[in-house]
Each structure stands twice: as structure tokens, then as C-alpha cells.
Amino acid sequence: MHAIGDLSTLLAHMEPVLDPGRYAFVTLPAGLAIDPARVVVSIREPEGLSTILAEQDAIALGLPIAFTAA
């Protein structure tokens, strides 16, 4: 597969698929390590490591959820 550099071509050929489930955006407390397999996305920001996790994982870990998306 080659990289597509033209935005119009890229958008015309996208085939998005909805992923069932709910996801939570959370900022991890300093020093908290979680299983990387649970992390969908992570972003290093000045305030800490922000992550997107399955909502049930965030709840099970007792993390404060900034927002949830489905």
C-alpha cells in the first residue's frame, strides 16, 4: 500500500467503520501505570498523560472521566 498525499483522494477512498462501545477521555494521575493493552490512544500533554480507554476500564480504575464518546 502506498501513501496517499492528495486529501480529496484520501477522503474519497475512506471506508470508516463504527466501533461499538463507549470510550472515556482521561488524564492519568502522575505515577499511575496501566496496562498498555487497555490504552486506545495516549497523548503527552503539559498537564500529564491523557488517554482514551474503554469507558468500563476507566470506571474500573476509578479514573475521573473528562468526557465519554460512543
Q: What is the pLDDT of residues 19-55, one digit of tens each?
A: 889 999 999 988 888 999 999 999 998 888 999 999 9
Looking at the DSSP bridge assignments, the partners of residue 41 are 52
**pLDDT at position 11 over 80:** yes
- Which amino acid, 4? I
Phi and psi based region of residue 57 (left: phi greater than 0; alpha: psi -120 to 50; beta: remaining)? alpha
Question: pLDDT at position 36, please?
Answer: 93
Question: pLDDT at position 57, please?
Answer: 96
Domain ranges of the chain: 19-69
- Provide the whole-model pTM: 0.74
- Confidence class for position 63, pLDDT limits 50, 70, 90: very high
Q: Which CATH number fits domain 19-69: 3.30.460.10, 3.30.2130.10, 3.40.190.10, 3.30.1600.10?
A: 3.30.2130.10
24, 58 Cβ separation under 8 angstroms: yes
**pLDDT at position 1 over 80:** no
